[in-house]
């Protein structure tokens, strides 16, 4: 099989800090401030939307603001919270602070013990747990004395720690285990599906879950509903999620709908990946990418010749399939095809704007759907936030363009961070 190249959003390449799903808009300036570092990259400060330094370089790691607070590192490498005046609001910091991406509460850790702070930075729970996981459906898994349970956003125990393993809630159910087998509970801690599965997934948007049972040394896959009815029964593997699944049996691989019926009649040699209505499979011995309509009609089918790319870009959560033919880029957004005279497409800004690469200059710029240059190909990289500001990199330094694509700040920053969390090393990476 030829190598498949999959784009990673430029956003993830620009910062080592984590980008959280709560920030659906992907603004570069959060609350009109952006964390930046210059020179040696040792200390961080904040600039405003005019490029003025408004909080001096004094922190050893810095993140985006949300409701007036940001996570930073002090000169002792301790995580703390600051306000927009750059003042620490905690009497003493923690070993780590994580801003939960669903509730925006702060999960804090020190000396192996975990606690919880509110959005305002005030203490909700002391450091009493061995672990607090991110929230899902307003509940978080906690660990205490080697047992797992759940707390709510007010820090109250909703389900006592009593399970050997516990997974986050999804669509009202959570997988828990005892004696190395998983079952499912509801929010009242009632066992809705008995302990019987070796492997489990969350219940998805169609209230279905992929589970496995170990028969001898072989895992058998099933798709079940919340009543534990087996919608797809005893197969070799199941991949994907709603609305369609890639199902491999001893006789071949197929695409099924969530109700257990075939999505299309095609028999595949193998199915590698299913994401929405995008499918990567081996069909008649050929590595193939397909993109379907919801009725099973094929929008496009492309053979992988080592020049096929696919990614999901944050532009309205559309699936993007990109192919290269005769040095042209073919972009498929839903049923629409756009042909661009460019190198790789790094970001779909809109139906008409694309950040792309130029083969001749080995540089990034922006073009529209008529192949007219909007931003010249002079940058190492570009990323446009949904607030219209563009982060650009040139001469190994970062700068900014304003929403009119005029230079706001010349390249001068070693790095920037527009995420709400520090990475595991405590600071954004260059």
Q: Which two tokens stand for residue 278?
A: 């995008």
Position 323 scores a pLDDT of: 63
Strands 270-275 and 278-283: antiparallel
- What DSSP designation does 245 have? E
Q: Does the pLDDT of residue 2 top 50, yes or no?
A: no
Q: What is the C-alpha to C-alpha distance for residues 286 and 297, in angstroms, rounded to an integer?
A: 20
Position 306 scores a pLDDT of: 56
**Do residues 363 and 376 lie in contact, with contact meaning Cβ atoms separated by under 8 Å?**
no
Q: Percentage of the chain surpassing pLDDT 90?
A: 69
Comparison of pLDDT for 426 and 355, the residue scoring more: 355
Name the band, by pLDDT with cuts 50, 70 and 90, for residue 430: very low
Position 314 scores a pLDDT of: 43
Q: Which two tokens stand for residue 141?
A: 């898994």
Tell me: cis bond preceding 127? Omega within 30 of 0 counts: no
Give per-residue pLDDT as tens, 245-259: 999 999 999 999 999
Q: What is the C-alpha to C-alpha distance for residues 186 and 175, in angstroms, rounded to an integer?
A: 9
Mean pLDDT of 288-310: 77
Mean pLDDT of 357-380: 91
pTM exceeds 0.85: yes
Q: What is the chain's mean pLDDT, rounded?
A: 87
Polymer length of the chain: 430
Please enumerate, as own/partner, the contacts of 395-398 that have beta carbons within 8 Å and a separation of 24 or more: 398/14, 398/36
Give per-residue pLDDT as tens, 137-164: 999 999 999 999 999 999 999 999 999 9
Task: Give the CA distances from residue 105 to residues 9, 116, 155, in Å, rounded to whole numbers and listed in that order.
Answer: 26, 7, 11
Spans of all domains in the chain: 10-205+294-417
Q: Does the pLDDT of residue 343 top 60, yes or no?
A: yes
Name the band, by pLDDT with cuts 50, 70 and 90, for residue 215: confident
Position 218 scores a pLDDT of: 85
Q: Percentage of the chain surpassing pLDDT 70?
A: 85
- As to burial, measured by CB atoms within 10 angstroms (0-12 exposed, 13-18 middle, 19+ buried), residue 6 is exposed
SS3 of the chain: the string is: CCCCECCCCHHHHHCCCCCCCCCCCCCCCECCEEEEEECCCCCEEEECCCCCEEEEEEECCECCCECCEEEEECCCCCEEEECCCCCECCCCCECEEEECCCCCCEEEEECCEEEEECCCCCEEEEEEECEEEEEECCEEEEEECCEEEEEECCCCEEEEEEECEECCCECCEEEEEECCEEEEECCCCCEEEEEEECEECCCCCCCCEEEEEEECCEEEEEEECCCCCEEEEEECEEEEECCEEEEEECCEEEEEECCCCECCCCCECEEEEEECCEEEEEECCEEEEEEECCCCCEEEEEECCCCEEEEECCCCCCEEEEEEECCEEEEEECCEEEEECCCCEEEECCCCEEEEEECCCCEEEEEECCCCEEEEEEECEEEECCCCCEEEEECCEEEEECCCCCEEEEEEEEEEECCCCCCCCCCCCC
- Among the residue ranges 16-25, 263-272, 278-287, 393-402, the one predicted with the least confidence is 16-25
* Phi, psi dihedral angles at 10 (to 5 degrees): -55, -30
Give per-residue pLDDT as tens, 74-129: 999 999 999 999 999 999 899 999 999 999 999 999 999 999 999 999 999 999 99
Q: Which two tokens stand for residue 93?
A: 């910091």
Give Cβ neighbours of residue 176 (< 8 Å, ≥ 6 apart): 148, 163, 165, 166, 167, 182, 183, 184, 185
Position 81 scores a pLDDT of: 98
DSSP characters for 262-321? BS----BSEEEEEETTEEEEEETTEEEEEEE-TTS-EEEEEE-SS-EEEEE-SSTT-EEE
Q: Does the pLDDT of residue 19 top 50, yes or no?
A: no
Name the band, by pLDDT with cuts 50, 70 and 90, for residue 317: low
Task: Give the CA distances from residue 422 to residues 23, 56, 177, in Å, rounded to whole numbers and listed in that order.
Answer: 15, 19, 32
- The three-class DSSP label of residue 367 is strand
Name the band, by pLDDT with cuts 50, 70 and 90, for residue 321: low
Name the band, by pLDDT with cuts 50, 70 and 90, for residue 12: very low
Residue 223 β-bridge partners: 210, 232
Give per-residue pLDDT as tens, 403-413: 999 999 999 99
**Do residues 344 and 350 lie in contact, with contact meaning Cβ atoms separated by under 8 Å?**
no
């Amino acid at each position: 099989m030829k190598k498949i190249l999959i784009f990673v959003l430029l956003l993830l390449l620009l910062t080592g800090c984590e980008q959280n799903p709560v920030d659906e808009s992907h603004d570069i300036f959060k609350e009109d401030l952006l964390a930046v570092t210059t020179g040696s990259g040792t200390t961080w400060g904040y600039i405003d939307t005019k490029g003025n330094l408004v909080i001096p370089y004094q922190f050893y790691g810095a993140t985006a603001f949300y409701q007036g607070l940001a996570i930073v590192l002090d000169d002792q490498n301790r995580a703390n919270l600051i306000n927009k005046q750059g003042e620490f609001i905690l009497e003493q910091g923690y070993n780590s602070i994580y801003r939960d991406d669903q509730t925006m509460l702060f999960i804090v850790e020190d000396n192996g013990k975990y606690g919880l702070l509110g959005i305002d930075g005030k203490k909700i729970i002391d450091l009493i747990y061995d672990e607090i996981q991110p929230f899902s459906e307003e509940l978080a898994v906690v660990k205490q004395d080697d047992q797992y349970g759940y707390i709510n956003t007010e820090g109250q125990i909703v389900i006592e720690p009593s399970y050997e393993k516990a997974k986050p809630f999804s669509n009202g159910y959570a997988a828990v285990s005892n004696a190395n087998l998983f079952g499912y509970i509801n929010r009242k801690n009632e066992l809705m599906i008995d302990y019987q599965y070796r492997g489990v997934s969350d219940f998805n948007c169609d209230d279905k879950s992929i589970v496995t049972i170990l028969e001898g040394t072989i895992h058998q896959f099933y798709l079940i509903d919340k009543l534990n009815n087996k919608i797809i029964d005893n197969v070799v593997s199941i991949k994907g999620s709603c609305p369609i699944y890639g199902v491999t049996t001893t006789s071949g691989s197929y695409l099924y709908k969530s109700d257990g019926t075939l999505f299309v009649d095609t028999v595949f040699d193998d199915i590698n990946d299913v994401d929405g209505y995008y499918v990567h499979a081996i069909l008649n011995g050929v590595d193939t990418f397909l993109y379907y309509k919801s009725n099973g009609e094929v929008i496009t089918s492309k053979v992988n010749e080592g020049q096929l790319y696919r990614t999901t870009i944050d532009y309205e959560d559309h699936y993007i399939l990109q192919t290269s033919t005769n040095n042209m880029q073919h972009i498929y957004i839903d049923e629409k095809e756009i042909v661009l005279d460019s190198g790789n497409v790094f970001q779909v800004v809109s139906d008409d704007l694309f950040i792309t690469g130029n083969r001749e200059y080995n540089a990034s710029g922006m073009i529209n759907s008529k192949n007219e240059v909007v931003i010249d190909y002079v940058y190492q990289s570009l990323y446009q936030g949904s607030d219209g500001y563009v982060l650009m990199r040139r001469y190994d330094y970062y700068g900014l363009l304003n929403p009119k694509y005029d230079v706001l700040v010349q390249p001068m920053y070693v790095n920037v961070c527009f995420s709400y969390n520090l990475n595991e090393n405590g600071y954004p990476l260059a």
